[in-house]
Amino acid sequence: MAARGSAPPPSAGTLRRLERASGAIATRAVARMDEDLPWFRTMPADQRSWVMLVAQAGIASLVEWCRNPGRPPRLTGEVFGAAPRDLVRAVPLKQTVDLVKLTVEVMDDHVESVAEPGDAVALRVAVLQFSREVAFATAHVYASFAENRGAWDARLEALVVDALVRGERSEELPGRAAALGWAGTEPVTVLVGAAPADGDAHAGVRRAARSQGCEVLVGVHAEQLVVVLGGADDVVAAARRVAEEFAPGPVVLGPVVDRLSAAGGSAAAALAGLRAARAWPGAPRPVAADALLPERALDGDPLARAALTDRVVRPLRGAGGEVLETVRAVLAGGGNLEASARALFVHPNTVRYRLKRAAELTGQVATDPRGAWTLHVALVLADLDGGRSLWR
């Protein structure tokens, strides 16, 4: 509001008296805050002193405005500039409204004692109109802070996600995530897939993750949407819900880790899985990166190749020749147990027992198409790696 309309300004004498009383009024306002607002009493001394400065600057700005009624008050710089930006972080908007309200009430209480005879109404109207300007300025300060903080948070979040994607193990990573509100919860996992074409996936992903009780970090790496989830009670259910916010196509869930600083490994596995997922058109959505070990290994992922060796090849070798020979026979026979038993000169139940033992060791069932494929790829790659042939 640029001017105060037809209301006459307070007299020069009243304004001088208001100036002289500004310190006492500000002190009384802070005392009222201490009396009426329990949360204000718990504030650190430096923040309480900032509030005092803001109150004094507000009264000084009121006096200046009354002397120049045609000039709009520059409240953002003159009043709120008296306190550091940290005060906006420390005091939420609702609490700031309470502070302004109490300050205006105290000023109104002092109108009769400050105003010269016959000038009380003009001063009271000026205080009322000025308080409205303060309300607009307060909203502007918090809106600007939220906008700037949002832009900064977005950049910081992008840096954190990018660091995870690149496999950095910086000691600063947990601190950066904490600045974004990450509570350090576990378990942690990474979900990757295609980013929506409209580029507006962040809000939807956050809503979906928080509906599952998850902490979340979101970033776009190239054209891939990367989502870090933390603290899910049911990781698979949470991933399934968040996957709905991705663009059409495969979505891959990285292995679960126990802390954010280890999430780089989960991200690496998920990204490798995403590159290889096209080789399994019927994969679920989302699909676990570990379920894509055969495709990842064939795509040249050394971590997947090593995992197949550790989880499939070594356990089968350690189980003895009979188990390995039976798995080989069943794979060669297309899963036909009777034909495999005849080839091995054993009873079909013996084949079943040995396959059960192999499944316990590797987690893969040789008679299941997906399990057979995983076993086949693992054994062939082991043979190609130069080890003793597993097929002869």
The DSSP letter of residue 385 is: T
Question: 268 near 303, Cβ under 8 Å?
Answer: yes
Average pLDDT over residues 385-390: 56
CA distance 13 to 115: 8
Q: Which of 66-80, 186-200, 328-342 has the lowest mean pLDDT?
A: 66-80
Average pLDDT over residues 268-297: 95
The pLDDT of residue 354 is 93
Residue 51: Cβ within 10 Å count: 22
CA distance 262 to 228: 11
Name every residue whose Cβ is closer than 8 Å to that of residue 354 and which is 6 or more positions away in sequence: 322, 323, 326, 327
Average pLDDT over residues 183-210: 83
Name every residue whose Cβ is closer than 8 Å to that of residue 136 and which is 6 or more positions away in sequence: none
- Kindly tell me if the per-residue pLDDT of 138 is higher than 50: yes
Q: Which of 146-150, 244-248, 261-265 has the lowest mean pLDDT?
A: 146-150
Question: What band does 81 get if pLDDT is binned at 50, 70 and 90?
Answer: very low
- Kindly tell me if the per-residue pLDDT of 99 is higher than 80: no
- Kindly tell me if the per-residue pLDDT of 30 is higher than 80: yes
CA distance 101 to 348: 86
The pLDDT of residue 131 is 76
Question: 229 near 239, Cβ under 8 Å?
Answer: yes
Question: What band does 69 get if pLDDT is binned at 50, 70 and 90?
Answer: low
Average pLDDT over residues 101-115: 84
Sign for the pseudo-dihedral over CA of 230, 232, 234, 240: negative
- Kindly tell me if the per-residue pLDDT of 42 is higher than 60: yes
| Structural tokens at position 61 | 């700005």
The end-to-end CA distance of the chain, in Å, is 91
CA distance 367 to 381: 20
Question: What band does 73 get if pLDDT is binned at 50, 70 and 90?
Answer: low
Query: Which residue carries 């006492």 as its tokens?
Result: 24
**pTM for the predicted model, two decimal places:** 0.60
CA distance 385 to 392: 15
- Kindly tell me if the per-residue pLDDT of 2 is higher than 60: no
What type of residue is 122?
A
- Kindly tell me if the per-residue pLDDT of 34 is higher than 60: yes
The pLDDT of residue 349 is 94
CA distance 189 to 106: 54
Q: Using alpha carbons only, what angle is made at residue 92 by residues 87 and 149, rounded to the nearest 5 degrees?
A: 70
Best CA proximity match to 96, nearest among 21, 37, 146? 37
- Kindly tell me if the per-residue pLDDT of 218 is higher than 90: no
Average pLDDT over residues 264-292: 94
Phi, psi for 70 (deg, rounded to 5): -85, -10
- Kindly tell me if the per-residue pLDDT of 117 is higher than 50: yes
CA distance 179 to 339: 63
Average pLDDT over residues 27-47: 84
